[in-house]
Each structure stands twice: as structure tokens, then as C-alpha cells.
Amino acid sequence: MVQERTLPVISAASTSVNREEGLRLYEDMVLGRTFEDKCAEMYYRGKMFGFVHLYNGQEAVSSGVIRSMRPDDYVCSTYRDHVHALSAGVPPREVMAELFGKATGCSKGRGGSMHLFSAEHNLLGGYAFVAEGIPVATGAAFQSKYRKEALGDRTADQVTACFFGDGAANNGQFFECLNMAALWKLPILYVVENNKWAIGMAHDRATSQPEIYKKASVFGMHGVEVDGMDVLAVRAVAQEAVARARAGEGPTLIEALTYRFRGHSLADPDELRSKTEKEFWFSRDPIKKLAAHLVEQNLVSQDELKQIDRRIQATVEEAVQFGLDSPEPDPKDLYRYVFAEDE
């Protein structure tokens, strides 16, 4: 059965974007898609091990939210974290090297696919357990507010974006953290990437209130639903939420209706979802949608987009070679990074 919900009137047609921003969003989404496709290739060739969860189809959420934030804002991810890391500015070669378990990876080869981390880019980590990142992100938002209001640091106006899936919205940490964030007016965006499936459990079968954004009302929090296959719509919602958070007006719960084009992980045969459902969502590919919009608005040409595609492909190929050529972590460093080190 095709799962669809009536969407709000926020779409590419009701938002505007200039050439520079449009190309930036397109490039970011293409990087995410190309990177994930290459990960699948490396995994099936036996070059990558462990659990690998790809983000194909959900790129509009990552690009729309993270590219609406500042570089010094915080991003907290899930086990489907590769593209969040890329959107946050972590170099593709560092992400790929981490997936190969190499010392040059962003987590020094100790995290792998589900535990990407970069202090330099304020990426607070990927988390393997469902909803595990929500308290971490809430804590990051609290420290921003505390530094600004209690310590008088006027530069501490950072906003945190916390990503999680629809399955996490039935977890106790979700409710506890939203309650605290609303009570203390924390500068945070709770972004639910509702891709309709929590591993093999259909969302509508798992919750008594499938419209997750409405749960915000319980806490007196602003909640909004957005078409997660439309990067311009996500961007418009995110920009408003970031502005509210930075102005001290508190958190926002954003439910982005999206879809993963691959199985839950690369080890998932993806036999539970119907062909009809998948074809419905494939037709709403967010990258093709943005490309068509940019061309229709005479902001770019097809040739320009193809040039970006080729450049991104070369970047990803270089990242793979960098990862393959990088050294394994040195056994003598086994106990490094257990505790924070002095500068």
C-alpha cells in the first residue's frame, strides 16, 4: 500500500532560491547520493564491513536543514549519518576513510559507519541505538543557552539540529527531551526523518498518532510538517525554525515526510515494502525535483548540472582512493581517545 499524507502548502512553487543557493543545494544533495552509491559498491566488493545504512532518497532533509545553519551550529545524527556529516562540512575523504576503518577517518577509524564524529565541524556523532542522540543534542542546546544567559557569553547563540527517525518518536527519550527543551526554550530543531519504516515496521502500524509533528503540541512546542522530498520546502521550514531558536523563542519539531530508496541497511533484502509503494516514492526523487526546478526557472542549464555531477563523481572516487591508501590505526594507540586529550 502506498503511504501518503496530505502535505502543507510549502513547496518549491511557494519558495524562491537564487542561482548560487540553488547550485549549492544541488551539489550537496548530489554529493550525498553519489557518496552513498559508492559506499554500496565498496560494501558489496568486500571493501567495507559492519552495518552500513544508506541515506539515498532523504538528501533533501539533510541539505535543507543543515545548509540553513551556520558552520558553528551543532548537528547530531543517527546511524544513517554519512550524508549529515557531508552536509555539515566533514570532507568526503575523512568520511570514506572512517568507513574503511582507517586512522585518517573523522573518528580515527574507531567509529565506522554508525559513529561518525567531528569536533572541528560540530558534528556531535552518529548513534547506533534508536533515539540515543536526542539527549546528547538536547544537552548541546542547553550548554548554548547556559553559556549565553548564565555566563554572559553573547557569542553563544549556536543552534542544534537533532536528526532521528519515525521509530525514535515512540521512545521515552524523545518525550523527556522535548519536555525539557520546551520548558527551558532551548535553541534546538528536532528533525524527524519520517521515511515510513522503522527497520521492517511500517510507521502507521507502530504509533497511535502517526502525525508526529502534532506531538509537539503536548509540550506547547511549535510543530510543523514538511515535504521531505522537496529541499526548498525543507529549507524554508528550517530557516524559520533556526531564526526562532536563535532569537530565544525555543525549539521546533519538524516532521519531514521522506523515503529511503534502499533497504534498511545494505544487508536488508528489502522484501517488506511493496513495488507500488517504492515506485511512488522513486518518482519524487528530491534531486531530480530540484534540478527540474532550477532549469525551469532558467537559473542553470542541464550542461551545468552535468558538470557538477562529473565533478562530484571525481571527488568521491578520490575519497575512495584516499581511504584505501590510508593506514590502519596503530595498535599502540588502542587506548587513545578514551578520554579527552590536552591541546
**Does residue 231 belong to any structural domain of this protein?**
yes
User: Where does the pLDDT of residue 338 fall: very low under 50, low under 70, confident under 90, or very high at 90 and above?
Assistant: confident
Tens-digit pLDDT profile for residues 168-196:
999 999 999 999 999 999 999 999 999 99
- For residue 92, the model assigns a pLDDT of 98
**Does residue 313 belong to any structural domain of this protein?**
yes
**Does residue 329 belong to any structural domain of this protein?**
no
Type of residue numbered 83: V
Type of residue numbered 190: Y
Cell numbers for 122, please give them. 560540530
- For residue 4, the model assigns a pLDDT of 54
**Does residue 333 belong to any structural domain of this protein?**
no
**More confident call, 223 vs 337:** 223
Averaged over 216-243, what is the pLDDT?
97
CATH number at residue 111: 3.40.50.970
Residue 76 pLDDT > 60, yes or no? Answer: yes
> Dihedral of CA 97/102/104/107: which sign?
positive
Averaged over 208-218, what is the pLDDT?
96
What are the CA-CA distances from residue 293 to residues 31, 41, 236, 285, 329 (Å)?
Answer: 19, 30, 15, 12, 45
Separation between Cα atoms, residue 281 and residue 58, nearest integer Å:
11
Question: In the predicted model, what is the mean pLDDT of the chain?
Answer: 94
Separation between Cα atoms, residue 127 and residue 242, nearest integer Å:
23
**Does residue 4 belong to any structural domain of this protein?**
no
- For residue 12, the model assigns a pLDDT of 47
161: left (phi over 0), alpha (psi -120 to 50) or beta: beta
**Does residue 1 belong to any structural domain of this protein?**
no
**Residue 121 near residue 89, CB atoms below 8 Å:** yes
Residue 324 pLDDT > 50, yes or no? Answer: yes
**Residue 166 near residue 131, CB atoms below 8 Å:** no
Residue 11 pLDDT > 80, yes or no? Answer: no
Tens-digit pLDDT profile for residues 19-66:
999 999 999 999 999 999 999 999 999 999 899 999 999 999 999 999
Residue 1 pLDDT > 60, yes or no? Answer: no
Domain that residue 200 falls in = 12-322
Tens-digit pLDDT profile for residues 258-279:
999 999 999 999 999 999 999 9
Separation between Cα atoms, residue 157 and residue 245, nearest integer Å:
9
Our count of domains for the chain comes to: 1
**Residue 271 near residue 103, CB atoms below 8 Å:** no
User: Where does the pLDDT of residue 13 fall: very low under 50, low under 70, confident under 90, or very high at 90 and above?
Assistant: very low
**Does residue 335 belong to any structural domain of this protein?**
no
User: Where does the pLDDT of residue 87 fall: very low under 50, low under 70, confident under 90, or very high at 90 and above?
Assistant: very high
> Dihedral of CA 112/114/116/117: which sign?
negative
**Residue 87 near residue 62, CB atoms below 8 Å:** yes
**Does residue 340 belong to any structural domain of this protein?**
no
Nearest to 301 by CA among 310, 309, 311, 291: 291
Type of residue numbered 320: V
Sheet containing 160-165: order of strands: 74-76, 160-165, 188-194, 252-257, 222-227
Separation between Cα atoms, residue 202 and residue 167, nearest integer Å:
9
Return the percentage of the chain with pLDDT > 90, whole number. Answer: 93
pTM of the model: 0.95
Averaged over 306-312, what is the pLDDT?
98
Tens-digit pLDDT profile for residues 92-137:
999 999 999 999 999 999 999 999 999 999 999 999 999 999 999 9
Residue 240 pLDDT > 60, yes or no? Answer: yes
- For residue 7, the model assigns a pLDDT of 52
Nearest to 122 by CA among 186, 66, 83: 66
